[in-house]
Structure 1
Amino acid sequence: MIERQQTSARMSRIVKHNGMVYLCGQVGDGRTIQEQTRDCVGRVERLLAEAGSSKDRMLQAIVWLADMSDFDGMNEVWDAWVPEGKAPARACGEAKLARDELRVEIIVTAACA
């Protein structure tokens, strides 16, 4: 069975299937990469909780940066947020994001609790 939560005509923020949780890309508010990343991972954490999962059950994360020069600043927040010993498989690349003010977008797949 496929369960979709927070669904609109365009997308679902959460999709659950076969013990897995798939989140749509999350962005954050703020001026600096650290502020946006902190807000972004907070949104990821809230959606995972709503789906019955948590950040220590993340399996994969895909991080898109508008500019790779923000890599260190994003990692500063990411490294403090990810539970020690529970880091997901992760990829990070540069991409043009949906709005010019966005600096980071994170897509997460996790196991259900």
Structure 2
Amino acid sequence: MSQITRIKGSHRAASLVIAGSAVTTSGLVATAEDAVDIRAQTRSVLSQAEALFSRAGLRKSDITRVQIWLADMADFPAMNEIYDAWVDPEHAPVRACVGAALANKHYLIEIQVYGYQPD
């Protein structure tokens, strides 16, 4: 039987869950001090995702899927500028990006990251 490990987030949701070899973050948004623009928010969220994976003993190369929600699809090129500098082309995950109304008007981006924990 697989063990489930949860890295605490809030009372509502874990920040990261490891279930067997599957790893997933909650939907990550920028911190208040990083709410300047889409570039800053994208950096903030990707940094959080990488830190969570690192805390679980994983690397960026263990990321298998990235789901991105943008409040405004006009931010797609600027977001991609930051994402492309962050992602390792040798271990690029699959990715989806859609426009969506986010939970707070200050959130420009939300990202959920999925991965695989090697044996």
Q: TM-score when scaled to structure 1?
A: 0.94
Which residue number in structure 2 is paired with residue 40 of structure 1?
45
1:50 maps to a residue whose letter is R
Name the one with the larger strand percent.
1
Which residue number in structure 2 is paired with residue 70 of structure 1?
75
The list of structure 1 runs, each at least 4 consecutive aligned residues, that deviate by more than 6 angstroms after superposition, is: none
Displacement after TM superposition at 1:9 (Å): 3.0
Q: Which runs of structure 2 are paired with 1:1-113 in the superposition (5 Å)?
A: 1-28=3-30, 29-113=34-118
- What SS does the corresponding residue of 1:70 show, helix, strand or coil? helix
Q: Which runs of 5+ in 2 are unaligned?
A: none
2:17 maps to a residue whose letter is V
Query: Number of paired residues?
Result: 113
Q: Which runs of 5+ in 1 are unaligned?
A: none
* CA root-mean-square deviation: 1.2
Q: TM-score when scaled to structure 2?
A: 0.89
